[in-house]
Amino acid sequence: MLIHDLKRTCSKCDGSSFQAGYDEWGSIQTNLQKLCPACSGKGYIFTELGKNLWKLYRPMIQELIREELEKKEAVQK
């Protein structure tokens, strides 16, 4: 599986994370460096496969983080 199967470069901002085409929409001041609304400034968008994998792995990752935090707390006491 390739990373490309999970996410792809945002076509709206072409991966720049910022809203393009400010000259079409209005003044430069108001729209310059506005985060791209399509990808929320990430520059990429998850594919359906990426979204599903994230849903699958997120609980496991959260569990790992929780365990690590508990270990740290145990050391401090």
Binding positions for Zn ion, rule: CB under 5 A: 10, 12-13, 36, 38-39
CB of residue 74 vs Zn ion: minimum separation in angstroms? 43
Report the b/e string of 56-77 with b at 16+ CB within 10 A. eeeeeeeeeeeeeeeeeeeeee
Nearer CB in complex with Zn ion: 37/63:
37
CB of residue 19 to Zn ion, shortest distance in Å: 8
Output the smallest distance, CB 56 to Zn ion, in A: 25
